[in-house]
Amino acid sequence: MKILLAEDTKDMNRVITAALENMGYDVCSCFDGGEALEHALADSFDALVLDIMMPKKDGIEVLKEIRSRNIVTPVLLLTAKTEIEDRVIGLDAGADDYLSKPFAMKELLARVRAMTRRKQEYNTGIIDFGDLSLNGETFELKCENSIRLSVKEFELLQALILNSSRPLSARFILDNIWDNADDATESVVELYIQYLRDKLAAIASLVSIMEADDGYRLVKGNRS
């Protein structure tokens, strides 16, 4: 599998590259956002690891540009910022995951493995629910309009669709979507539920996510 790494700190870049290569990945490393964007547009990768604070173009700019070109490769953002608002900006721009510095190398490797493994395991077919159509290859969600989901948003919505006959608890979601990551809490689940609600509204879907004491559940709506 081929990974694009963009990290402007040379020592950090070298360490991450060595760790990824030791795991068997083919790594294309660069040191600024302009070079990262050139590689992302010119070649095909299984995952992108982008530092947010880089010269020429920051990680968010690179991310926005590749998403505008309909490149759906999973993206992990590295950031020294810890405020939740900074994470939200990255996720809203189309990031699939984020990791705050300083981090343990084994955690970064676990995040990359999760992104690349799940990308291979997805059902690339189309799943329908109510007026929704969810494409497992492009992560596109369609109704009257269409919108792209991040990896985590896709996984969460897919789980809700496949388990629509019963509510899913926050614990179930954390165990199955976040693999019990140390920084994953019920507030993270609530944040992603809100992301999905916003996107359902953006594509004018009548499907809604209902919340009860026992968890979250998708409900179909009817057009009058």
In the numeric block, the tokens 């999973």 are attached to 74
Whether 112 contacts 47, CB under 8 Å: yes
pLDDT, tens digit (0-9, with 9 covering 90-100), for 157-171: 988 998 888 889 998
The residue from 121, 136, 154 where one domain ends is: 121
Give pLDDT, residue 143: 92
More confident residue, 109 or 177: 109
Q: Do both 8 and 111 map to the same domain?
A: yes
**pLDDT tens readout for residues 124-169:** 678 899 999 998 877 889 998 888 887 788 889 988 998 888 889 9
What is the C-alpha separation between 111 and 217, in angstroms, rounded? 27
Average pLDDT over residues 170-187: 79
Q: Do residues 135 and 112 share a domain?
A: no
Please indicate, yes or no, whether residues 172 and 87 belong to a single structural domain of this protein. Answer: no
Number of domains in the chain: 2
Mean pLDDT of the chain: 85
Task: Provide the CATH number for the domain around residue 209.
Answer: 1.10.10.10
136 and 115 in a common domain: no
Residues 103, 142 share a domain: no
Residues 84 and 187 both lie in one domain:
no
Last residue of a domain, one of 121, 146, 181: 121
Q: Whole-model pTM above 0.75?
A: no
The pLDDT score that the predictor gives to residue 50 is 95
In a domain? residue 108: yes
Q: Under a CB-based contact definition with an 8 Å cutoff, are residues 30 and 5 in contact?
A: yes
| Statement: residue 180 has pLDDT above 70 | no
Last residue of one domain, picked from the residues 101, 121, 141: 121
Same domain, 99 and 144: no
My answer on whether 67 and 115 are in the same domain is yes
Rg (C-alpha) for the chain, rounded Å, is 18
Q: Is 120 exposed, middle or buried (0-12, 13-18, 19+ CB in 10 A)?
A: exposed
Q: Are residues 7 and 116 in the same domain?
A: yes
CATH number at residue 21: 3.40.50.2300
Domain that holds residue 194: 126-219
Once rounded to an integer, what is the mean pLDDT over residues 7-27?
A: 93
Q: What are the pLDDT digits (tens) for 39-95?
A: 998 887 889 999 988 999 998 999 999 888 877 788 999 987 665 666 677 777 788
Q: What percent of the chain has pLDDT over 90?
A: 39
